[in-house]
Structure formats: structure tokens, C-alpha cells
Amino acid sequence: MLLNTLVASLASGLVLGAFASPLSHDYAGAKTRRVVPSSHSLHERHLSHWERQWTKRSKVPDTQILPMRIGLKQSNLKEGHDKLMDLSTPGSSNYGNHMTAEEVVDFFAPHQSTTDAVTEWLVSSGIGPDRFAVSVNKQWIQFDATAAEVEELLFAEYYVWNHLSGSHDIASEGYHLPTHIRKHVDYVTPGTRLRPRNVKNKRAGNFNKPQPMITQLPGFPFPNSSTCDVYVTAECTRVQYGIPNATTAAPGNELGIYESLDVHYSRKDLDIYYSTLYPNIPNGTYPEERLIDGAIGAIEDTTEYVPIDLEAPLDFDSSSPLIYPQGLVLFQEDDEYYESTEAFNGFWNTFLDAIDGSYCNYSAFGETGDCTAEECFDPVYPDPNPGGYTGQLQCGVYKPTNVISISYGAGEYGWPDYYMKRQCNEWMKLALQGTTIVMSSGDSGVGGTTCLGDSGKIFEVDFASSCPYVLSVGSTEWDRFDNVTTPTPGKKLNEVATKRFPSGGGFSNVFGVPDYQRDAVSAYFDQVESSLGFDAYHHFVANGDFSNVTGGVYHQGGRAYPDVGAVGDRQVVYSNGSWWLVGGTSLSSPVFGAVLTLANEARIAAGKSTLGFVHPALYQHPEAFNDITVGSNPGCNSTGFPAAKGWDPVTGLGTPNFPVLLKVLLGL
């Protein structure tokens, strides 16, 4: 098939093949550079900094077959945001009228006039309708052509380029389109972008694998609601947030938990945890496993996986008792080779492929499908490596749950803008369909894994928390300040920002502040800006290049995170034959995910839609939260941002006051 030819050709860089039907021009002999007519304009230009790692070599032979793909400008990208606000803003007559997956595909498909204009141009240029195909999602047109044909079509010259790694690619230094066609075309590939093909030996360096704060206990700690400042369990979370015992389990309302990077769990450990602390949960109560691209779920033979990472047990032990009898769904991503070697730089794309088939070939911001560029290289399937998944990339094989908790993140600086923007658009599309994505905000304050800029003082920003369509969750802890010698069961404790580690928070360099949080963010700066002790800059930063930042350490004007907070330390977990205290926003995310799952449970029982994009409702109702005003998130040799009255970039709006929050959400 043409698509298979395209993929194979791009993967190998150059593929010699049969001639395509030639244009009516004679290409015998050497060609000279042609003058670009006034009817055409430059569409993309080769970036000079690529030549630091690439060397231009020979001209591509005229007869070389190039698998061409033209990405069409999508319609309604801005309108998609407006549509989401209409479906998600309290008081709207369309509130809760979520779209189907098919409706979302049609909504963003390029206008028919775009497809017609580009195909008419191709036909008039000698590329007949029998030679090109339009993708099922209507987002791109593909065809095979000789290099001579492509150069004639685009007023370009194609060369072979060699990368420092030894790999090669083909690209032009610039190509041109008819002026009236440019508004319909996002990009053309092969075009100007250079992508090394041998990057599997490059270990992911930008991605922040969850690293929970752990303390091994000498034995079972016998926790109860009087010791919540020392040992946190679901009983503590219920008491402190006013959450009643769950009694229902609406079909399809399971809480989704995402795992990757060799993070697994043990069914035996879950049985021990439940039977010890929650005997009402019977043995054999395990997550439903939705395994993606050869992923491994539970691990029982721990000789190869010692110790089992505490991330998955933390997610399950903290959330399952809150929502039981409702269940969990595990979304486990990527095969054993990629999980163990982390030989990739991108993330989440194969997960998104699996829960939305249209994403596999989704074109936006100059990118179609999973990334093959070195800076954002995604796992490739079939995978020929030892332990690799040999099946095809899984596209649309699972339905997303109503709420999905993700305790992973990465610095914005480490990925190209187009990669994050394309992915953020997908989070928006899931929100349009009624899915809430809940994500941990990070555990390193304003510093992330590193501090940026020539000065090494610019704050790092966590993605995908910085995407305005993700619900970002910061971390808190419960403390006892009154020095009571005999703790009282069920007593409400003081709640502050986590002290053992600083909760991640700040302002995006890629995404602007959305309207739903603008007033809350302005109110925060009115309180604290004059006393921060550090300055802001007021412009976006492109592709992690901070060379134009000459003053300030954070972007005032970017999407602010986290949105909300939840307990994030001292959770009692059982794993690897031991009891542990575990902390991190990796705890906060599944706890808040459980809260929203319970709210959806009530809405479903009342005959209402799922919450989906819940942000506007939350920001309109700050009274539904326990306001956290003590703490900060230091980093980069600064005190970070302080907690304050109302929203702040440490714990967001605060932690859930469940009775009030449920009343608000049930009333929508």
C-alpha cells in the first residue's frame, strides 16, 4: 500500500524504486536552479543551526522516488478551544454535551475547499488523481514522485544530508508553493526538516521518571485517622476531605492510571495491602490491564524486577480504597525493550495513539503521527529489538476512561514546541469527548530537574502540566501544630504545602494563560509580586532557546500551574514484602483523580454527563477548596513562589472540600 511505502521510505531515508509517471518535461542532463515565479512564495526554509550536526552531500538523483506527504491546514484549531469552553463553562446551554470521537475528527478536518485547492494544484502540475490519496482523517495528501518531479513542483532542490551519528536524511534548503495554496498547507515532507534515523541508542534524558520520596518502615505501622500527620491512608483522606465511603460502581466509570518506564506492580502485594488495611476489598481485586504495544502489566516473578518500583503501588494503594467498589484501569505503555532501555525522547504519543486512533496520523504544527526526530523520538513499532513488540502500532484499540491520572512529566525546554502543541491539542480533543486528564505537577519546585539559561537561574516548567487542557495537581501534607499528646481519631489537621520536597509549579513558556484562570492568576500577583525577590520576563520562549531572555526567571503571561492540590506525602504503601511511607505529587494526582471519579459516579447516577474539562467550573468555585496559604516551592537558588490566599503556583486553588465540591459539580 502507498502508506506502507511512505513509512518504509521515510524510515530508510532513501529508497530506490520504480519511476513515477513523469511530468511532460525533459529532465535529461544537468539542471540549473530555476527562478521562482512571482506566483509562488517561500513556504519553509532550512534552519541554519541544523548545519552544526548535518553536512550537505550529494544531490538526490532525478529518478529517485520520494514518498511525499502534504499536511493540510486543519480547520477549527482556535474554534476547538472555544467549543470546549462552551461545553465546559457553567451556565452554558451546551454544558456537558460532549462530542463523539467521530464528531471530533470531522470538526478538525480541513475544509473541503482546502482539499480541493491542493488536489487541483497537483493535477494541474501533472500529478494525476490516480497517483495521490487523501488520508482517512482528511489531514494529509500523499503520493510518490521522482525527485525531478518534486523539485519542479516545489521550486526546490533536494540533497542527501549526513548526520554526525552516521545516519542520513534527504531535505531541501527551502521550498515554494503557489501563493494561493500556502494558506491551505501546513507543511510538506520530505521538506526542510532533518531527522536522524539511528537514535535508539540515545537514552531519554529530558523525561522525569517518577521518583517518589520513600521511607521503609520496620513493620506494619497500624495507621488510623488519629495518625494522619504520620501515616496517610484512604481513611485519612476521607476524614480530612470529607469523602464518604463509596457504594456504587457505574459501568465504564473506572479510574484510569497511566504507567510506563518499567514501573510495574504485584497482584500479591495488592492482596496483602487490601486484606491488611481494607478487608472489605476482596483478594483478587486488581486493575483491568489495557496493555499498549507489548507492554507488561503486573509482575509476580520479581527476580528480574527487584525491587518493584513504588510508583504503581502508590497509585493503586492511594486511589482504589477511595473509590471501591469502583475499579481501576491500568494503561501500561510500550514494550519491554523501550521500557527497560528508555531509548526514546518523546512520551505519551503511543498511549494517545492507543486511546484515539485518529491521533496515529494526526497532522498539526508540521508533524504527522509519532515523532521520528532526534529531539522527540517516539517508540517505533514493529520493534525488532530483543523483547520488542513485533505487532503493528496500536491505534484506537482502547477507550479512554472518564478520568485518567498520570504521574509523569518532563521539562518544556527539552522538547520542540511543535511536539508539545500537537500533544496538547490531543488532550483538548479528549476533553471534548468528556475525559479529564489529571497530572502531577512535579516534585522539584520551580527548578524541575535543572535550571535554565546562561545564568542557570531561569525556572523550569513541567509539561504536560503546562498544557491548559490538563488538570495539574500540586502537593500538600497534614500537620499537627497544637502539640496534643493524645491524637484524636477523625480530627481535622492543618494542611500546608509539602515540606519534604517542593511541589512543582510555575508558568509556561509555550502556552499562554487561559481565560478560565486569568483572574485568579492576576489576584495572586496583586498579593505577592512586589515581595517575590525575583523578576519576570514577558515573552514566550521558542523551542527551549533562552538566549533572548536577558532578565527575569519566569514567564509572566504563561499558563499557570498547578490548578489544584491534594495530599502528597506519607502515604502507607505495601510493596516488595515491606511497608513504606511514600510521597510525591505522584500521590496527589491519583487522589484527586479518585475525587473526580466519585463526582462522576454521582453525576452518572443523576443521569448527567461526565465532567470532562472541569477547569472552568473549579476556578469559578474557589469555595469548594481548602485554601492552602502556608508553604512555597523553592528551587534554582530562590525561595520559589509562596502560597497565598486563593490560587497560587504551589497548591493551585487548594485541596478538595468534598461535600462542597460535590454539590457544585453535581449542580452543573
Tens-place pLDDT, residues 233-248: 999 999 999 999 999 9
Residues 6+ apart with CB under 8 A from 327: 249, 254, 255, 285, 287, 288, 320
Q: Among residues 625, 619, 624, 642, which one has the least CA distance to residue 519? A: 619
Catalytic, 311? Answer: yes
Q: 293-331: per-residue pLDDT in tens? A: 999 999 886 555 555 678 999 999 999 999 999 999 999
Confirm or deny that 628 is annotated as ligand binding. yes
pLDDT at 203: 30
Residues 627-642: b if buried by 16+ CB within 10 A, e if exposed: bbbbbbbbbbebebbb
What's the one-letter identity of residue 484? Answer: V
Beta pairing partners, 176: 42
pLDDT at 223: 83
Distances (CA, A) of 191 to 172, 224, 309: 6, 62, 43
Pairing of strands 471-479, 436-440: parallel
What's the one-letter identity of residue 358? Answer: S
Domain 207-401+414-620 superfamily per CATH: Peptidase S8/S53 domain (3.40.50.200)
Residues 488-510: b if buried by 16+ CB within 10 A, e if exposed: eeeeebebbbbeebbbbbbbbbb
DSSP code at position 23: P
The H or E element spanning position 601 is helix 585-605
Count Cβ atoms below 10 Å from residue 60 Cβ, excluding itself.
Answer: 22
Q: Residue with C-alpha cell 495488592? A: 270
3-state DSSP helix/strand/coil percent for the chain, to nearest 5? 30, 20, 50
- Exactly one of 315, 317, 378, 383 is catalytic; which is it? 315
Q: Among residues 461, 665, 492, which one has the least CA distance to residue 567? A: 492
What's the one-letter identity of residue 467? Answer: C
Q: Could you give the CA distance from residue 243 to residue 258 in angstroms, rounded to a whole number?
A: 24
Count Cβ atoms below 10 Å from residue 298 Cβ, excluding itself.
Answer: 18
| Distance, CA of 223 to chain centre | 35
Residues recorded for the chain: 668
Residues of the chain under the 70 pLDDT cut: 1-33, 47-52, 165, 195-214, 301-308, 366, 373-375, 482-486
pLDDT at 596: 99
Reading the block at residue 276, the C-alpha cell is 491488611
Half-sphere exposure of 417 (CA within 13 A, CB side): 12
pLDDT at 339: 83
Confirm or deny that 627 is annotated as ligand binding. yes
Q: Among residues 328, 365, 372, which one has the least CA distance to residue 349? A: 372
All CATH 3.40.50.200 domain ranges in the chain, comma separated: 207-401+414-620
Beta pairing partners, 471: 438
- Exactly one of 586, 588, 632, 638 is catalytic; which is it? 586
Please state whether the peptide bond connecting residue 210 to the residue before it is cis, i.e. omega within 30 degrees of 0: no
Can you point out the beta strands (E) in 434-470?
436-440, 462-463
Cα dihedral sign, 627-631-635-637: positive
Catalytic, 586? Answer: yes
Confirm or deny that 323 is annotated as ligand binding. no
Q: Could you give the CA distance from residue 269 to residue 272 in angstroms, rounded to a whole number?
A: 5
The answer to whether 163 touches 185, Cβ cutoff 8 Å, is: no
Catalytic, 93? Answer: no
